Structure 1
């Protein structure tokens, strides 16, 4: 079902069309754009509240600036639906986040209006500054560069690094701080409090601009007088504003805060700012979910609600006749609470993802031992390491894709110091509609190469519980190994998952099925695909031995010796990258111990996997049940052919 746009929106196929309208028509464009987003997301799903909050900002930016020559960088990209619709993608917007359709985030390959690909937060200021510096080098002095960054994304260290650099340049850069007090969950930390309390004095701004312009025009004072004013400006600012301004102290001219949902005032301010040289910051106050009542009232719930009834606000959920397995995230959350109630040393840490990771369960049950540190993965890891030095069993829960941002801290602050931090890597593997910026496909390779690190992946919910239980036992007994537990997004396979805890011996796998023809070694939840494949193959008369290795580091070498002594054909299956992953580790073992079996590795190939339903992506990569059956049949055919040749 295609959604019909409003009368004005239907005529906008590019920002050039938008700029032909009279300014008095912009409120209607905003209303139609907001309704178009509501209509589409209610039917097709996707991110929701963030884009509703910046409808006016999206329209104003494309109306005032000469995009795509003027360059916009959205941070984070789930607020860019309005931007996509206004830049020629309205007719295809119903394909958003679907296999082969539009990306849910700005993407350079998708449109010339997407100046920079964004999926992870806090990259906009650095990238836009880089564009501004490059434009100046090419003598494109009139080109504008705008970074639109949320207040949640502003908490990350990289945003401060970018501002620190920008403030020391004369680059033509405008930072728009989209302040709605929300990321996915409510923002936390001192910056949030600062932005909540900050006030802007019209008296100060008027006084500063008038004095600055006056002195600049007076030939007998000129630039030297402006330099004098700059030196005493801090004193003047403190007296008038009654507080120091963080952004001005970094060398950025600060404007605001203004109502970011007032399209008339926004266009006026942006037009003025175009003519002010140098780096500057506009502080816009917006409402996440603006224009849709339920989303305004419960902003966390409506960040990405799925399909819903736009009239009643009822989020539609599938109804099942039988009990369904829980999400792995919820198993983590419930299990963490159980462990924390039994062990006073257990601590929970997450960088801004309490509801997504289910850390919110511990934050509600035991709030003094559960911490949301904001969008700050590096800090989350080193903060956890600091607590580990004091004997705490710290569960540091970070999405696999975001763990990439804290890799140095894992090596330097945790593993070199032999600190037993427990890393729970949520969303490991292919995550689906969020696509390549969010796929957690590299963690096996980059974690297994670090000394003093255990790396494990549970095949089901029971295994996840037992690995978490085992990890917190080791954290205050052995005290020399970090422990990584990776698990996927979405539902598991065990409706009756809450089983008694059992300690798992580190570095041991499980033999799940006896077989004589070929062996399959799996790591993590893909073992369930292999188990189903074994049943189908047995019906074909092929006997497959199935091993759930559980640990990538240390490997179960006893089990691997058994496998390579008894099978000439071995297949490994993983939901991580093939380069340096689980299959590579098995191959290293095989070579190191002089085995000559034929090894076939299934996993994620050396390429960028786009977005879509996980089932489509597993099939594309060839390690779904059907793909495993196909490869086993190919290997069996090769085996028969080899025997005939012999």
Structure 2
């Protein structure tokens, strides 16, 4: 018999208003149990969501939602929010194909304000909402929930400066758990640590103030040390909070983020303020589930796991991941070259750099969630004679494109960009698919771009990038590699030269990155039907192999296949080369269409997009069928037979056969 739960009676945040603090605490425990039960099957961002449960329960019990607006930074900590806003029954579909998003998504619910997925943008969104409130003359509440790691991002600081200067009516909840993906680093984190160490600041301040006010003339004379005694005492007892208050933002002392009663007391006060306030809440990632508490980095984003032990339920793999191969290869390069420096942005484990960090700690840099800083610093390291390798997820590199163009490419700095999670990433959906990097690197002067097709090619590509002068980027996907044997000694790849992996004269299939595997499988399917395909691993997105493209134009059809957006991508680059060469061979580009792609297993997404072997083969068949209907092949043959002769020189039978072929 199922035990009744408070959670089962909650259909919207309005239902929370009838619950007292004790009942809300019980609800929070039930929500954690539901999160663990669901993510053990679907995977997800477990530790961060568990840590934020009490904040979300306390906050949403006080608001009139969806009129009042809550903006989640990143959104991966919003699982409790989903369970409280009418999505309890659908929660079991979290991060599955066609199911609930793992992030907030306005098209999914009116309670979701912002389609989050990247860090540090919540405060800017909230300032816009608060400004709109001012302009409309309304009184809805605006709240932003941001983690301490995200607060270190430059965009967050820009928003803090603006909201303080404008005195916008909004509340910032700082969820301070000392973690992002990897453990937080930097001066701001030390600053927050000092504040946490002084958790009794508020009591000490109030006690000291009371003592002075009740004392004699000498004690009361201390009040003259500042125009505002509270600010003077803050400077005396704990100057650390002044970083926020100097911006004009009222900042609370740290409060327990797992004490719902205390949370509600403080939030009730700040929600009534007319200006900006920052509530400093200290939480623990993974709260309520011991395996996630012990290893919050492993449970930042995880696949299915065993609830009892927390161990991942992984299928036996036949090959290491691309990330693991990259990390090992970079450590090998560093062992042979003392100038190699690795830089990442709060994702040491995610980019495979744990080994590098352990073996070469002085040459490893984690800048926190600050991709612009990572790339700008890399430019400086290059100017100082070092060989920096910037390892980031493709989707997060997007925010540092300006630094890549001006700070790195313009001076031709020797910087290597290693883009992990390039291509479709599966369950995290459109905010995390790395499908734009070929466009934003290909457009930049002085940049060279590699797209290795397997793990062996990745090792060669990294070695090549470190040997070359000037900026080079290389991209590789998430997950298990192809099973190719790794080289004992990496090679230097010839710049702008592809490799042909299968010969054929009917159709030329030009593939980039891991799409080579899909294209080879498609060629096998077509060969069984009498259609012989040349398969070319293009290797380089920039510069493209013009000779290989010219040779492809001798076939009946050219097809490019890439795991990136078609608009401005590698395939369009091939079309540009064909046009410059004056080729008339029909060409088709396959890749990501001009829309955002949802979440789901990568094989399923490939099938939906026609990027698996069957889909590629189907495109080739259809294109050849269209060519036959249009008479292109026959016209080419006739042109070859009667080179230089007008149509009038053809026999009546040839003209009739040509016309009839167009309608077959």
Q: TM-score range by the shorter chain?
A: over 0.9
Distance 1:239 1:571 in 2: 70
Deviation at 1:235, TM superposition (A): 4.1
**1:536 counterpart residue number:** 525
Instruction: Tell me the TM-score normalized by structure 1.
Output: 0.93
**1:573 counterpart residue number:** 561
**1:12 counterpart residue number:** 10
1:74 to 69, 72, 75: 72
Deviation at 1:6, TM superposition (A): 5.2
Deviation at 1:560, TM superposition (A): 1.4
Q: Say if 2:596 is the partner of 1:598.
A: no
Query: Per-residue CA shift, 1:40-75, capped at 9, x if unaligned?
Result: 111222110101101111111110111111110111
Distance 1:17 1:533 in 2: 55
1:589 to 567, 570, 577: 577
Gaps of 5+ in 2: 211-225, 635-660
Q: CA RMSD in A?
A: 2.1
Deviation at 1:192, TM superposition (A): 0.8
**2:625 counterpart residue number:** 637
Q: Say if 2:327 is the partner of 1:333.
A: yes
Distance 1:494 1:308 in 2: 25
**1:146 counterpart residue number:** 143
Distance 1:128 1:457 in 2: 38
Distance 2:353 2:311 in 1: 25
SS in 2 for 1:331: helix
Distance 1:557 1:38 in 2: 53
SS in 1 for 2:61: helix
Deviation at 1:256, TM superposition (A): 2.0
Q: Say if 2:488 is the partner of 1:459.
A: no
**1:46 counterpart residue number:** 44
**2:29 counterpart residue number:** 31
**1:391 counterpart residue number:** 385
Q: CA 1:243–1:131 in structure 2 vs 1: closer, same or farther (change >3 Å)?
A: closer
Q: Say if 2:512 is the partner of 1:527.
A: no
Q: Is the 8 A contact 2:291 2:309 kept in 1?
A: no
**2:121 counterpart residue number:** 123
Deviation at 1:233, TM superposition (A): 6.3
Distance 2:253 2:598 in 1: 39
Q: Is the 8 A contact 1:170 1:279 kept in 2?
A: yes
Query: Per-residue CA shift, 1:565-596, capped at 9, x if unaligned?
Result: x1231100001101010111011111112111
SS in 1 for 2:419: strand
**1:106 counterpart residue number:** 104
2:261 to 261, 264, 267: 264
Q: Say if 2:421 is the partner of 1:427.
A: yes
Answer with 1 or 2: which has the greater Rg: 2
SS in 2 for 1:162: helix
Alignment of structure 1 residues 403-414 onto 2, 5 Å: 403-414=397-408
**2:213 counterpart residue number:** none
Q: Say if 2:364 is the partner of 1:370.
A: yes
Query: Per-residue CA shift, 1:602-630, capped at 9, x if unaligned?
Result: 00000111111111111121111111010
SS in 2 for 1:79: coil
**2:54 counterpart residue number:** 56
Deviation at 1:117, TM superposition (A): 1.3
Deviation at 1:282, TM superposition (A): 0.3
Q: Say if 2:164 is the partner of 1:167.
A: yes
Gaps of 5+ in 1: 211-227
SS in 1 for 2:185: coil
Deviation at 1:497, TM superposition (A): 2.6
Alignment of structure 1 residues 95-244 onto 2, 5 Å: 95-140=93-138, 142-198=139-195, 199=198, 201-202=201-202, 206=206, 229=227, 234-243=231-240
Q: Say if 2:297 is the partner of 1:300.
A: yes
Q: CA 1:170–1:411 in structure 2 vs 1: closer, same or farther (change >3 Å)?
A: same
SS in 2 for 1:302: coil
Query: Per-residue CA shift, 1:119-158, capped at 9, x if unaligned?
Result: 0000111101110110111111x21111100011111101
Q: Is the 8 A contact 2:164 2:249 kept in 1?
A: yes
Deviation at 1:496, TM superposition (A): 2.9
**1:280 counterpart residue number:** 277
SS in 2 for 1:88: coil
**2:654 counterpart residue number:** none
Distance 2:120 2:18 in 1: 33
Distance 1:6 1:283 in 2: 34
Q: Is the 8 A contact 1:188 1:373 kept in 2?
A: yes
Q: Say if 2:310 is the partner of 1:313.
A: yes
SS in 1 for 2:514: helix
Deviation at 1:319, TM superposition (A): 3.1
Q: CA 1:270–1:592 in structure 2 vs 1: closer, same or farther (change >3 Å)?
A: same
Deviation at 1:640, TM superposition (A): 2.9
Q: Is the 8 A contact 1:336 1:362 kept in 2?
A: yes
**2:499 counterpart residue number:** 510
Distance 1:229 1:203 in 2: 21
Query: Per-residue CA shift, 1:487-540, capped at 9, x if unaligned?
Result: 111111125335421110111001111101111111111010000111111111
**1:358 counterpart residue number:** 352
SS in 2 for 1:356: coil
Q: CA 1:166–1:581 in structure 2 vs 1: closer, same or farther (change >3 Å)?
A: same
Q: CA 1:419–1:4 in structure 2 vs 1: closer, same or farther (change >3 Å)?
A: farther
Distance 2:3 2:171 in 1: 31
Q: Is the 8 A contact 2:305 2:312 kept in 1?
A: yes
Deviation at 1:631, TM superposition (A): 0.7
Q: Is the 8 A contact 1:570 1:598 kept in 2?
A: yes
Query: Per-residue CA shift, 1:423-447, capped at 9, x if unaligned?
Result: 0011111111111111111111111
Deviation at 1:204, TM superposition (A): 7.0
**1:224 counterpart residue number:** none
Distance 1:292 1:208 in 2: 40
